[in-house]
Amino acid sequence: MFKYLLEASNIKIHFPVYGGILRRKVGTVYAVDGVSLKVKKGETIGLVGESGCGKTTIGRALIRLYNLTDGKVIFDGKNISRLSNREIRPLRRNMQMIFQDPFESLDARQTIGDMLEEPLIIHKYGSSQTRRKEVLNLLSRVGIPQGAVTRFPHEFSGGQRQRIGIARSIALKPKLIVCDEPVSALDVSIQSQILNLLLDLQTEMNLTYIFIAHDLAVVKHISDNIAVMYLGKIVEYTDADTIYEKPLHPYTKALISAIPVPDPSVRNKRIVLYGDVPSPLNPPSGCCFHTRCPFVFDRCIVDEPELCQKPGAEDKEHLAACHLVNG
């Protein structure tokens, strides 16, 4: 029995940039640059950070929708880093994804019933009658009326479409689901319903989630552990409660200070970060955050900090990539 369902070791995803008449390579986008992650079966890991920090790229790479430039991914005890499309196809049923846009991720030309039955056909699940029964069961599990099986995506609201996307992701009873900002496009009142549905399904099916979001309040509600990302790297990692109560990295502190407080009489001291996020085409030397950090000093500019355990905090795993924290 393996301790971790998923292990990512120093993964890198770089995209070449081409330009000019001859379409020559003129640069490289360092979308993800050395990320390691371990996920236990049944837990939820939250990935948070600003837009463009590499969260979605990591999620897609972990289930091999993107190929790795370097590094290794072990899923359920098997190294899937270099498997061909044919070799990885049988494993697809155990790795699924919920996409951010609930409309773009559904085929407008297919009925909901055909869409949910398609993965069952591909993976040769039962007879036609058995598949149809399973489709109706999936709709019931996510709160969609069974009579909607013949309707098309445009006939549903955004929240209903996301429920259909969730139904599709659990159709093959996977072990791991990557949730790519599944509630960011929904109204606040609908977000809580979708989050509670995901939690209920996790308990019922013993699912493991990698939950990607930029809203720290949402991530705290659903995650066991949280990894904070900045410019393609993880800068802090610990459990959800600790990262809110005792954040270590200056970037994490700034993110938490920006969370709205639902009490007009409480004034939250906001930490304002000046400047723009550097381009992943030309990341800065040393600490990737030093161009915006209010505590930057000479060492930060030339020496990249390692993501390591905070000194004196051996009772729990609390990692940070900061010279101020680690000395």
Question: What's the confidence (pLDDT) of residue 259?
Answer: 80
Inside any domain, residue 55: yes
CA dist., res. 98 & res. 66, Å (int): 16
Dihedral of the alpha carbons of 62, 19, 276, 228, in degrees to the nearest 10? 10
Question: What's the confidence (pLDDT) of residue 185?
Answer: 79
CATH code, 32 = 3.40.50.300
Q: Token match 């837009």: residue? A: 51
Inside any domain, residue 306: yes
Inside any domain, residue 154: no
Asked if residues 125 and 139 have their Cβ atoms less than 8 Å apart, the reply is: no
> How many structural domains does the chain have?
1
In one-letter notation, the amino acid at residue 243 is I
Name the token pair of 54. Answer: 């590499």
Q: Split the chain (327 residues) into runs of 10 and give each run's mean pLDDT.
A: 86 93 90 94 93 91 93 94 90 92 87 93 90 94 93 92 94 95 85 92 95 87 93 94 91 87 74 86 92 92 90 78 86
Inside any domain, residue 134: no
Edge-to-edge strands, sheet with 78-79: 24-39, 6-19, 70-75, 78-79
CA dist., res. 47 & res. 298, Å (int): 29
| Helix, strand or coil, per DSSP, at residue 142 | coil
| The model's pTM | 0.91
Inside any domain, residue 224: yes
Inside any domain, residue 111: no
16: phi then psi, degrees, rounded to nearest 5: -70, 145
Question: What's the confidence (pLDDT) of residue 155?
Answer: 93
Report DSSP letters for 226-239, one per residue.
EEEEETTEEEEEEE
Residue 77, phi-psi category: left (phi > 0), alpha (psi -120 to 50), beta (remainder) = left
Range of the domain at 50: 6-105+174-326
